[in-house]
Amino acid sequence: MEITNYPTPTDSGIKRRFGDFASLADALDYAAQGQAGINFYSAKGILLESLPYSLLKEQAKDTARKLLTLGLEKGDRVAVIAESDSDFSRIFFGCQYAGLIPAPMPLPVAFAGKTAYIDTLRGMIENASAKAVITAQTIQSWTPDIINGFSLQFGGTPAELAQVHAKSTIELPTVDSDDISYLQFSSGSTRFPMGIAVTQKACLANVSAIAKYGLVVQETGDRCVSWLPLYHDMGLLGFFITPMVCQLSVDLLPTRDFARRPLVWLDLISRNKGTLSYSPSFGFELCARRAPASTLELDLSSWRAAGIGGDMIRSHILEQFAEQYAQYGFSHKAFVASYGMAEATLALSFAPLNTGVKTDTVDLHILETDGIAKPCDDPNMSTRTFTLCGPILPGHEIEVRDEEGNIVPERHVGSVYVRGPSLMKEYFRQEEETRNVISDDGWLRTGDLGYMLDNEIVITGREKDLIIINGRNIWPQDLEWSAEHHFNALRSRDVAVFSIDTDEHESIVALVQCRFLDPKERQTLQEEMTNLFRRQHGVEVSVILVPPHSLPQTSSGKLTRARARKMLLNGEFNINN
């Protein structure tokens, strides 16, 4: 395989620091003294560009002066399409030096067509009150539709920004730790996502907690590898900002091509001796479904922290991955379950390292009726297996509360609340929405349900997704997982379960992406799935088959049940059962 140049070395050559900086600009100034950097690869794993932090610092400062030359002022927002390339890197860190607030925006890969993508993008731009919009070369022709009607100091591609001649008299402003570092858009589903305001201080506090206590970054030998999108918190903070702040080299693959070539991720870990890499469960599933070619020589023994986050953790998928890749040196003890959210910058808890995935199997009936996670190992009973996501990070607090706000005992399911230095400042310019989730004494209501076990948090689902039928609390994930696990023809995110309320009753619907064309096969799938739900969960479910790739996802690739429900009610699916 031809390599165009050489990646930056794993070891930076300077003393490791873990976030003890006043700003990201200060962190980059320090990282630039070493040899580490960011390496950008093609979908086939060919190194396209190596960008040492020393060079990034110079280019980011030049970009900062260009942005200020355009008339932008400290505190202005810059919407930028988060392509995994050096252009985004220069612009994001250029904003840090200029005192501007970058707002990373998604690529169109997760959207059903140009119109839906542009509508979502324009909603984000409006929410941020952006003064500049920087699109990507790949969608250059869409730029007029994206920026039309906005009052901007600049609207165009990175190449067009590069043509701006910076004024030599421009001085870079002082950036304080309380200043907003960037806006992270949440994965909203029923409306345009809200911008989460992350301060310099909160960002660096989360990086420090992740590096020191979550991943326990070593003085030498650690290297990051990622395909995660840079418009999502796990990709942006976890594998773009954190490596720089900790003077680590990171190898980045393009997000949009991962689903087609997932094994390139593993090959890159193998070739560059990557030690730290994360993925939602479906990334591991894609790799488990594809056996490496005999010509692919993998060695995954260097991978010491294979993190899982970003969605509900599916332990059976991880078991499949570990079994398939054990022959290539992968250790099941490398799995690191974690819990977090963009409103907390990123991470809130990490399972202990070198222990693998720990699970808790509970009686599903008692869980649904009494809200108690009672252990159950009876194979004749309906059960649900959850993953333990570790203790809360040092410096942070976590509580599980009932509807009255009282802390509940261990194994009792309730609403998850967190507090600590990593929390967002606000939903940007959304005072009421911010007050709805953050109390006067600093507690954030996460919107997640869970329980505590041996001082570790166990997440069971989202509050807003709960289905209540005949006094039972039913998690749609339970039904979705049952279907996806039982039917080999289904993949992760092929099933969306939700309830529909009418004046007479509440009914449960399962939308299923079906790849069968034969009418008999389609009918058999419907009937068997209906029986599966009735037999395993004791509920009647209307199974509706929809075309492949038609279920909606958020910008971060998560299934959005609320949007799927709305689409069904609006008659937007092509249903031919």
Same domain for 249 and 147: yes
Same domain for 130 and 39: yes
pLDDT score of 2: 40
190, pLDDT greater than 70? no
192, pLDDT greater than 70? no
Same domain for 444 and 476: no
Give 566 or 437, the one with higher predicted confidence: 437
CATH of the domain at 254: 3.40.50.12780
Binning pLDDT at 50, 70 and 90, where does residue 3 land?
very low
Over residues 147-169, the pLDDT tens digits come to 999 999 999 999 999 999 999 89
Q: Is residue 14 part of a domain?
A: no
Residue ending a domain, among 213, 235, 261, is 261
In our burial notation (b when 16+ CB lie closer than 10 A, e otherwise), range 117-148 reads: bbebbbebbebbebbbbbbbeebeebbeebbe
Give 5 or 332, the one with higher predicted confidence: 332
pLDDT score of 502: 59
- The least confident of 56-70, 336-350, 462-476 is 462-476
DSSP E strand stretches across 356-454: 359-363, 383-387, 397-401, 414-419, 426-427, 444-453
CATH of the domain at 405: 2.30.38.10
189, pLDDT greater than 90? no
Binning pLDDT at 50, 70 and 90, where does residue 188 land?
very low
* Residue linked to tokens 């509050």: 463
Distances (CA, A) of 349 to 374, 390, 444: 23, 6, 15
Residue ending a domain, among 442, 464, 486, is 464
Residue ending a domain, among 464, 492, 524, is 464
- What's the mean pLDDT when you consider all of the chain? 92
pLDDT score of 553: 81
Over residues 78-126, the pLDDT tens digits come to 999 999 999 999 999 999 999 999 999 988 865 557 887 898 899 999 9
pLDDT score of 187: 56
pLDDT score of 4: 46
268: nearest Cα among 290, 238, 299, 289:
299
CB atoms near residue 379 (< 10 Å): 6
Q: Is residue 532 part of a domain?
A: yes
Q: Is residue 56 part of a domain?
A: yes
Over residues 308-345, the pLDDT tens digits come to 987 778 888 899 999 999 999 999 999 999 999 999 99
Same domain for 241 and 385: no
pLDDT score of 470: 63
Q: Is residue 28 part of a domain?
A: yes
Query: What residues contact residue 224 under an 8 Å CB cut-off, 6+ apart?
Result: 239, 242, 243, 248, 249, 250, 251, 274, 275, 276, 277
pLDDT score of 575: 74
Same domain for 447 and 478: no
Same domain for 471 and 445: no
DSSP E strand stretches across 82-131: 101-105
The total number of structural domains in the chain stands at 3
Radius of gyration of the chain (CA): 24
Same domain for 472 and 459: no
Q: Is residue 342 part of a domain?
A: no
* Residue linked to tokens 């991943």: 215
404, pLDDT greater than 90? yes
Same domain for 480 and 518: yes
Torsion sign (Cα): 357, 363, 364, 369: negative
Same domain for 480 and 429: no
CATH of the domain at 480: 3.30.300.30
Q: Is residue 71 part of a domain?
A: yes
Binning pLDDT at 50, 70 and 90, where does residue 431 land?
very high
Same domain for 485 and 452: no
pLDDT score of 216: 98
492, pLDDT greater than 70? yes
**Mean pLDDT of the region 62-70:** 98
Q: Please compute, for residue 528, the number of CA atoms within 13 A of its CA located in the half-sphere on the CB side.
A: 13
**Mean pLDDT of the region 219-247:** 96
**Mean pLDDT of the region 270-280:** 97
* Residue at 538: amino acid letter: G
Q: H/E/C letters for each residue in 218-261?
A: CCCCCCEEECCCCCCHHHHHHHHHHHHHCCCCEEECCHHHCCCC
Q: Which two tokens stand for residue 240?
A: 């773009």
Same domain for 139 and 80: yes
504, pLDDT greater than 70? no
pLDDT score of 326: 96
268, pLDDT greater than 90? yes
Q: Is residue 5 part of a domain?
A: no
Same domain for 540 and 456: no
Q: Is residue 3 part of a domain?
A: no
**Mean pLDDT of the region 345-354:** 97
Q: DSSP class of residue 50?
A: E
Over residues 17-27, the pLDDT tens digits come to 999 999 999 99
Range(s) of the domain holding residue 513: 466-569
Binning pLDDT at 50, 70 and 90, where does residue 374 land?
very high
Q: Which two tokens stand for residue 531?
A: 């029986």
The whole-model pTM stands at 0.86
